[in-house]
Structure 1
Amino acid sequence: MARNLYGPGVRMGNWNEDVYLEEELMKDFLEKRDKGELLIQKNRRMKNLLLQPVPLSVAQDGCVHFGDRVMLVSPHHAEPRAERFLPGDLSLCLAPDEIRARLTDRFELPCGLSAAPTRAPVRRNAFAVLGVDREAVGDVLRFGQNFRLGITLGCEDRMLYLSSDHRTLLRSSRLSSLQEVYLTEEDSYLNCWQAAFPDPQLRLEWEGHPVPANTRILINHSHTNRGLAVHRHLFSRSYFGKEAEVAAHTHLDTHRVEMPRNHWMLVTGSPRGAASTMLDVPRPPVERGPAPEPGPELDTPGPQ
């Protein structure tokens, strides 16, 4: 019985072209691998850069100073009008575009921001408190004083500033269509922010006082007078997973008081070696809440 003895191994005609094509593809793959140009290598370098641990500054006097490296954390709060939201403490993080991040290991500016459920200080969520006028490094940051928040991109030594501007038809937040918040290299008045006391009845009294660290405050944009807010019910699929949207908008309740969406904390490092930030330090019982009332079984006298 006759058998077909021809196949790719005979290196004839189209079969020979297929063998050459496979060899060229393998050669191109090995060349890109040696140069570090594969997509998986680019993604790995970006993740290693943004997830590199960064030590935070320790507030010895309990206040925030110019030059400190802090985390911007939105304390946990529920969204009563939403069935699904992102719980826990959310930190403000650099969020590069997912498609562009998978194609290159460089950042496209302006770069987006998001709120991620991470409590570890890494390069993508560690911000430096910078002065605007002639504030010296080490001076105390005060309520109502302009300041900048910058983040450094590793060995590139590039400072990106937290910025915002009025929303337009061409520029707004992607999910809520509110005022966009982004990171840019441009040094302008759009980078200026101010800290405000959460209680509006005591806001004027706290004007000019030092900003305490690890305490709830408001962060308002100096140019547009909009508060930095996190929308826990609006999810975005970022390069690092499921995160919440961040925008510049002042959310007021029926009493004209800022809602918890606008509450932030400038979290500093912990002086204890076992904890990296003050979020990991257990709070005293007085700050956790009122002590539970004794039950009926505690009121009855025991046997004599």
Structure 2
Amino acid sequence: MAHVRTYNPRVRVGNWKEDVTLEEETLKEFTLQKDRGELTVQKEGALKHNILETVSLSVSQDGFLHFGDTVMLVNCGDGDHMQRSPCVLSIIADSSNVSSHSQTNTGPHLTGPLQVGGAHRMDPCVRNTFIIVSVDGSSDGEVVRYDQSFALKTTGGFAGELFLASDHKSFQKCARKSRLQELSLVEEFDFLCWWKVLYFDPQERLENEGYPVQVNSKVLISHCKTNQCLAALGNHILWSQFGKEYELTAHTFLDSHKAERDNNHWLFSTAHPANQSQSLLQLQQDEHRENQEDTQVKDCS
């Protein structure tokens, strides 16, 4: 029983002064971390509360994409075999990515680098909404044109205004599951964050170069440095605290006709004019679901 501690610091035997001082320092450090919001439980709570907060998408009055628009990037899935369901580009983060309070930022926010994934939740929120940013001096409100460079930035506040970036794969840096070219959200803005929109049909791509990009229509999003297109991989699954998600990468998948496959087909989803918290794609899915339910009711009757 020699290992059992018979006395506590209040008895004041042995190194009681040292024990009291250590307990006071531990309590003081705990209080400081709590005041700064550095406790793990505080970071977890801030993450769950803020990252799923509803965000209002932009409304396109003319049907085109503009610099400064807040949109969701949606992959409509595999239309032929339904082996890959629709997904949206989303942030993957945990408590270790949440910064503490500081003099420059009064509230918690995400810090890079962060992973991204293809989430199945289509409700516009901090986690899956991005802002179209100009890289060539174009002002907010100007239309984005095919083959024109731009950047994708997370919203301000908790999302931390991070940029979607990619680079050539290497042994040390590649996608976790597929080992293809990695995607990440970074704080530093440089050429690795440049992207451009390509026309959906390769036979008409040259003719549409320089024309405005339509929203809620299939397009390709190509990385300017590597010329690889944004892709969703239905056969590579990532598990996060938000559930099961598809791995996203920068890789161009071609079919037998040298055309990009549906892994690379994306659309810029904007808000419904009557409800900015609901995307047009989400409205179409709700209407399709209601029509299916009505059909099933009629068949049963």
- List gaps (5 residues or longer) in structure 2: 1-5, 101-107, 292-301
Q: Which residue matches 2:202?
A: 200
> What is the number of equivalent residue pairs in this alignment?
274
Match for residue 175 of structure 1?
177
Distance 1:188 1:102, change over 3 A: closer
Q: Which residue of 2 aligns with 1:46?
A: 47
Report the counterpart of residue 243 of structure 2 in structure 1: 241
Alpha-carbon offset, residue 239 of structure 1: 3.2
Equivalent residue runs for 1:187-266 within 5 Å = 187-266=189-268
**What pairs up with 1:269-280 in 2 under 5 angstroms?**
269-273=271-275, 276-280=278-282
Name 1:293's counterpart in structure 2: none
CA deviation after TM superposition for structure 1 residue 102, in Å: 8.7
> By how many angstroms is 1:144 displaced?
0.7
What CA distance in whole angstroms lies between the structure 1 residues aligned with 2:88 and 2:261?
17
SS in 1 for 2:88: strand
Q: Matched residues in 2 for 1:207 and 1:71: separation?
A: 23
Task: Report if aligned partners of 2:99, 2:109 keep a CA contact under 8 Å in 1.
Answer: no
Q: Summarize deviations over 1:54-87 as a string: whole Å, max 9, x none.
A: 101000000000110100011021696x9xx6x4
**CA RMSD of superposed structures (Å):** 3.5
Residue 125 of structure 2 corresponds to 122
- Give 1:39 deviation, angstroms: 2.1
Aligned equivalent of 1:70: 71
| Greater Cα offset, 98-107 or 200-209 | 98-107
Gap change, CA 1:62 and 1:274, over 3 Å in 2: closer
Distance (whole Å) between structure 2 residues aligned to residue 33 and residue 137 of structure 1: 40
CA distance in 2, matches of 1:103, 1:58: 32
Closer, same or farther in 2 for the Cα pair 1:50/1:190, shift >3 Å? same
Structure 1 pair 139/103, CA: closer, same or farther in 2 (3 Å)?
closer
Q: Distance in 2 between matches of 1:226 and 1:35?
A: 42
For structure 1, which segment, 36-45 or 188-197, has the greater mean C-alpha deviation from structure 2 after superposition? 36-45
Give the C-alpha shift of residue 281 in structure 1.
2.6
Distance (whole Å) between structure 2 residues aligned to residue 37 and residue 136 of structure 1 = 38
What's 1:292 paired with? none
How far apart are 1:280 and its partner, in Å?
A: 2.6
Task: Report if aligned partners of 2:56, 2:276 keep a CA contact under 8 Å in 1.
Answer: no
Q: Aligned partners of 1:153, 1:93: CA distance in 2, in Å? A: 15
TM-score by length of 1: 0.77
Task: Kindly indicate whether the alpha-carbon contact (under 8 Å) linking 1:143 and 1:197 is maintained by their aligned counterparts in 2.
Answer: yes
- The 5 Å alignment of 1:103-114 reads 107-114=110-117
Q: In 2 relative to 1, CA 277–232 (structure 1 residues): closer, same or farther, beyond 3 Å?
A: same
Give me the TM-score of the superposition, normalised by structure 2: 0.78
The C-alpha deviation readout for 1:103-157, integer Å capped at 9, x for no partner, is 987644221111100111111211111111121111111111111111135158x
Looking at structure 1, the residues matched to 140 and 132 of structure 2 have their Cα atoms a distance apart, in angstroms, of: 9
> Are 1:146 and 2:143 an aligned pair?
no
Q: How many percent identity over aligned positions?
A: 36
- Is the contact between residue 79 and residue 232 of structure 1 (CA under 8 Å) also seen in structure 2? no
Residues 64 and 213 of structure 2 are in contact (CA less than 8 Å); yes or no, is this contact kept in structure 1?
Answer: yes
Residue 38 of structure 1 deviates from its aligned partner by 3.6
Mapped to 1, the partners of 2:235 and 2:276 lie a distance apart of 33
Preserved CA contact (<8 Å) 1:101 1:239: no
Counterpart residue type for residue 203 of structure 1: R
Aligned to 1:160: 162
AA partner of residue 57 (structure 1)? S
Distance 2:35 2:96 in 1: 22
Partners in 2 of 1:29 and 1:88 — Cα distance? 48
* Cα separation, 2, equivalents of 1:256 and 1:186: 35
**What's the counterpart of residue 302 of structure 1?**
none
Stretches of structure 1 that go unaligned for 5 or more consecutive residues are 1-6, 289-304
The residue number in structure 2 matching 1:100 is 96
1:4 equivalent in structure 2: none
What CA distance in whole angstroms lies between the structure 1 residues aligned with 2:283 and 2:109?
36
2:90 matched to 1:90?
no
Give the direction of change, closer, same or farther, for the CA distance of 1:137–1:35 in structure 2 (3 Å limit): closer
State the shift of 1:238 in Å. 1.8
What is aligned with 2:296? none
Q: CA deviation at 1:35?
A: 6.4
Q: Secondary structure at the match of 2:248?
A: strand
